[in-house]
Structure 1
Amino acid sequence: MDELVDGLKQSFYNYISPSESDISKFVAPWTHFETEKNSIITKVGQVEPYFYYIHKGLVRGYFLKEGVEYNMGFSYDGEYSGVYDSFITQQPSTWTLESITDTRGLKITYSDLMLLLDEHKLMERWMRLFYQKVLVGFGIFTKSILADTAEERYSRLIKQSPHVLQMIPQKHLASYLGMTPETFSRMRKRVRD
């Protein structure tokens, strides 16, 4: 558990500079979670009860339309995760959060996180900076899906996050980039040659 708490502390330090006293208060309400590979963490229609810190593992957010899965994003070692819109609004989720690998980390309930945000200005700053990063990333992703060619989307991925090619199954990356697995495979082969 100490390893997970140390990882969570470091994730806070990436955004804010809390004192030792503050950081102890910030990590206190987080609890351990563990999921097996291919486990549903949050399903459509369920209100997201937690905000997650992924210490080790890989999760994806996706939705189904007419039987086809559309990947919206991935979280892995050292990152946060959850069905953010459902968590913030406390309304039923319209998409699913699933572990792709065995995953472990820490989680905090909505009420515990809101209490921390209300009581600690620095914690509120952490949340604001985190959501700014999410919004900027979402804007870049949306623009890319709407305006970029498949090749441009693939190039952006390998430039920004080349490590995901080794971590995330090709079919999930293809879906995330809005292309078929066959198109993704052709682009990957073209770049390697």
Structure 2
Amino acid sequence: MGALTHLKQRVNSLSELTEHEWEDFACRWKPLSVKKGDYIIRIGQVEHYFYFVHEGVLRAFMINQGVDISIGFTYTGDFSGAYDSFLAQQPTDWSIQATTDASLLRISYADLMDMFDRYKSVERWGRIFNANVLIGIGKRQVEVRSFSAEERFDRLFQQSPHIFQLVSQKHLASYLGMTPETFSRMRKQCMEKS
């Protein structure tokens, strides 16, 4: 499946666009290929694009007192970007880096805002997408603040088992707020149960 067809499926799953709306929207998205290790954005830069990951894996992370902390992952079929920086057009406090070679589509801030103004269906897509992001952030806050390490591991394993094949143990351990050794032990116990 081509990248634009993939994007169309994801957009239409949230808000159906007419063929005319889709053609205008689709021509604004530009392809971007990145290699493993390439940065999409770095701390201190302003995010000028919103991304769709056609293939590959991206990792969002920050550096706190010299420690690399994974804050999220985006993989095939998901949207990505430093959303706070993109929406506010202010410098970001975190970076996004490809953890695999990746095929992306991206749309500029100006083009996406124009599409929101032109088409109710695109604005609806953006509203539903942003609502889903806020719901995810809220759930993540609850996990980080009130779940034990074991509960965070189990929840991730239940909700996103495929991520264990896509992302390194080091980065998953960081995301879950545990040492790589603890993560490895929990993963082994989980596999023994299966």
TM over 0.5: yes
CA shift, 1:23, in A, is: 1.2
Q: 1: distance between equivalents of 2:13 and 2:163? A: 21
SS of equivalent to 2:129: helix
Gaps of 5+ in 2: none
Residue matched to 1:114: 113
Q: 2: distance between equivalents of 1:52 and 1:177? A: 25
Q: For residue 158 of structure 1, what is the amino acid of its counterpart?
A: F
Q: For residue 107 of structure 2, what is the amino acid of its counterpart?
A: I
Matches within 5 A, 1:1-193: 3-193=2-192
SS of equivalent to 1:101: coil
CA shift, 1:180, in A, is: 0.9
Q: 1: distance between equivalents of 2:164 and 2:135? A: 22
CA shift, 1:175, in A, is: 0.7
- Residue-pair matches, total: 192
SS of equivalent to 2:16: coil
Deviations 1:58-95 (A, max 9, x none): 00110001111111111011110000000000000110
Q: 1: distance between equivalents of 2:20 and 2:113? A: 19
Q: CA RMSD in A?
A: 0.9
Q: For residue 159 of structure 2, what is the amino acid of its counterpart?
A: Q
Q: 1: distance between equivalents of 2:82 and 2:187? A: 30
Q: 2: distance between equivalents of 1:191 and 1:44? A: 35
- Structure 1 segments of 4 or more deviating over 6 A? none
Q: For residue 111 of structure 1, what is the amino acid of its counterpart?
A: A
SS of equivalent to 2:31: strand
